[in-house]
């Protein structure tokens, strides 16, 4: 996101040869015709630069970034034709606008070069804060986070409006997050939220505080009560906002945080609030899938079944085959808990096909594991053996605990198969699994997750509540 773009206001005295009335050295009487022509045309260029800058500024505000880039490029070229160096401030301003536009349109390296060129030797106030902020954005986009942080700090030193301070602090929080320092990230995000709230921007305040809660969770240094207070304050701010755009993502993230705290009723409530705010069918499918997983955790399998079915249909309608496969797996689990093992098997087969289509190796072995459990429940012990072998063959890059679990299931299925074939005494065998089988584990409740155990603020954050049942299985974000 661009920082505030500096408007270039060019007045006629900028090009006046003697703007303050001080004596000047006489110039040579004979000027080249090219210099005379440049001086004659400069007032026209000033007018064009003003118009192009206004056009670029309006295009940026309307989201027409490439149109803005073209306008700022033309303004910069005209400013480069200024006679001598008397209009250096104009050129610096045009370089700043063009550099900021390059950063916004995905060319931070070129943008940074221009933004650094635009830095005045001595400057104060908001305009210089904007310049520092955009330099920071360029370094941020290039992955040079220490430099980005240094320039965000500089911007903070020049900003007075609280909303500008909040923007810089939020960006600093994002940098510290990326550097693996969640405690510092949480601090700056909370500071950003306070600045936004004082500037009467409740939506921005809510988003910053929701991100801070995720960092508090990740740091593992804060109790459940403290994290819940931050989450509830974020929710309160969101409900105060008249602007509902982007709040769907916030409510979805809040739901993920409540899940990590194993507060599933609050998670389901947050996901329900996110649902009508989804900007498109893909995001709606994401929230529906999360709702289904929350209801799985609550043991409300009928409700979970409905949510997962809708999620699978929506993901399929927009061609999200990877996500559709994961929805089929979650649907299959809910069906297995309702005792419909044939339907569970069918949906695990759908999940397997989707995972194969999407190249999702993890989805494949999870589907095979679920198929093995379903086959065992249906008394198809030879098929269960085959499915568990396939799962084991595809999980070689997973942690040892995953492979060990599958080996144990395979051995258990082998003993059961031999027992049914009369080749071994049944009293020496481990019975078929009694706990509900799901991809990646044995029990939907799992062990209680500790605060901060799972990663936060990543595009596909692991579903943190089922460390055994859904190892590293994503609970998606949008």
Contacts 24+ apart (CB under 8 A), 378-387: 378/341, 378/342, 378/345, 381/413, 381/416, 381/417, 381/420, 381/432, 382/417, 384/413, 384/416, 384/417, 385/410, 385/413, 385/414, 385/417
Q: If residue 416 lies in a helix (H) or strand (E), which one and from where to where?
A: helix 400-420
DSSP per-residue codes, 279-297: SSHHHHHHHHHHHHHHHHH
C-alpha torsion sign, points 89, 93, 98, 100: positive
pTM above 0.85, yes or no: no
Give dist(CA 474, CA 331) in Å, integer. Answer: 15
Give dist(CA 119, CA 103) in Å, integer. Answer: 16
Give dist(CA 461, CA 405) in Å, integer. Answer: 23
Specify which residues 462 forms β-bridges with.
Answer: 474
Give the pLDDT of the chain (478 residues) as one tens digit per residue. 444 444 333 333 333 334 344 444 444 444 455 555 555 555 677 788 889 999 998 988 888 988 999 999 999 988 887 766 555 788 888 899 999 999 988 999 999 999 998 877 665 556 778 889 999 999 999 999 999 999 999 998 888 777 789 999 999 999 999 999 999 999 999 999 999 999 999 999 999 999 999 999 999 899 999 999 999 999 999 988 887 767 888 899 999 999 999 999 999 999 999 999 999 999 999 999 999 999 999 999 999 999 999 999 999 999 999 999 999 999 999 999 999 999 999 999 999 999 999 999 999 999 999 999 999 999 998 999 999 999 999 998 899 988 899 998 989 888 887 887 644 433 333 333 333 333 333 333 232 222 232 322 222 222 222 222 222 333 344 4
CA torsion angle 119 125 131 132 (round to 10) = 90
Which is nearest to 128 in space by CA: 101, 179, 93, 102?
93
Q: Any residues with CB less than 8 A from the CB of 341 and at least 6 apart, and which? A: 335, 374, 377, 378
DSSP per-residue codes, 60-110: HHTT-HHHHHHHHHHHHHHHTT-STTTTHHHHHHHHHHHHHHHHHTT-HHH
Query: Using one digit for the tens of pLDDT, what is the confidence trace for 300-328?
Result: 999 999 999 999 999 999 999 999 999 99
Give dist(CA 49, CA 90) in Å, integer. Answer: 9
Give dist(CA 368, CA 384) in Å, integer. Answer: 9
Q: 27: which 2 tokens?
A: 């110039």
CA distances for 221 relative to 155, 172, 212, 224, angstroms: 30, 20, 13, 10
Q: 376: which 2 tokens?
A: 């065992």
Alpha helix positions (H), 261-360: 264-274, 281-298, 301-317, 321-337, 341-358
């Amino acid at each position: 996101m661009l920082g505030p773009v500096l408007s270039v206001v060019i007045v006629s005295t900028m090009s006046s040869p003697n703007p303050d009335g001080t004596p000047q050295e006489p110039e040579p009487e004979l000027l080249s015709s090219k210099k005379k022509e440049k001086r004659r045309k400069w007032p026209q260029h000033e007018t064009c630069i003003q118009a192009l800058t206004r056009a670029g500024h309006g295009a940026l505000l309307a989201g027409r970034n490439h149109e803005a880039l073209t306008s700022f490029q033309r303004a910069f070229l005209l400013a480069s034709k200024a006679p001598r160096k008397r209009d250096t401030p104009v050129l610096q301003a045009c370089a700043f606008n063009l550099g900021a536009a390059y950063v916004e349109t995905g060319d931070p390296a070129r943008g940074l070069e221009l933004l650094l060129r635009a830095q005045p030797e001595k400057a104060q106030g908001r305009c210089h804060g904007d310049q520092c902020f955009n330099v920071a954005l360029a370094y941020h986009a290039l992955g040079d986070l220490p430099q980005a942080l240094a320039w965000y700090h500089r911007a903070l030193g020049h900003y007075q409006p609280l909303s500008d301070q909040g923007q810089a602090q939020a960006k600093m929080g994002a940098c510290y997050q990326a550097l693996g320092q969640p405690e510092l990230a949480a601090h700056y995000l909370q500071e950003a939220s306070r600045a936004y709230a004082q500037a009467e921007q409740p939506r921005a305040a809510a988003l910053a505080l929701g991100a801070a809660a995720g960092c508090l969770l990740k740091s593992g240094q804060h109790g459940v009560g403290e994290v819940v207070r931050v989450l509830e304050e974020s929710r309160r701010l969101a409900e105060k906002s008249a602007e509902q755009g982007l709040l769907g993502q916030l409510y979805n993230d809040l739901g993920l945080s409540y899940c990590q705290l194993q507060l599933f009723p609050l998670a389901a409530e947050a996901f329900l609030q996110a649902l009508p705010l989804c900007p498109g069918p893909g995001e709606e499918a994401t929230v529906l899938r999360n709702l289904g997983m929350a209801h799985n955790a609550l043991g409300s399998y009928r409700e979970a079944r409905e949510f997962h079915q809708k999620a699978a249909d929506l993901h399929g309608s927009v061609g999200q085959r990877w996500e559709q496969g994961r929805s089929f797996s979650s649907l299959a689990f809910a069906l297995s808990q309702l005792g419909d093992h044939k339907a569970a098997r069918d949906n695990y087969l759908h999940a397997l096909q989707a995972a194969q289509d999407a190249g999702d190796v993890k989805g494949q072995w999870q589907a095979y594991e679920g198929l093995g459990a379903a086959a065992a429940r249906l008394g198809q012990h030879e098929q269960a053996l085959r499915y568990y072998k396939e799962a084991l063959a595809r999980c070689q890059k997973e942690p040892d605990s995953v492979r060990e679990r599958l080996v144990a299931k395979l051995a258990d299925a082998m003993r059961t198969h031999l027992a049914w074939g009369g080749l071994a005494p049944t009293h020496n065998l481990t019975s078929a699994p009694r706990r509900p089988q799901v991809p990646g584990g044995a029990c939907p409740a799992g062990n209680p997750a500790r605060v901060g155990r799972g990663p936060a603020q990543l595009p596909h954050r692991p579903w943190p509540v089922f460390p055994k049942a859904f190892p590293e299985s994503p609970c998606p974000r949008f």
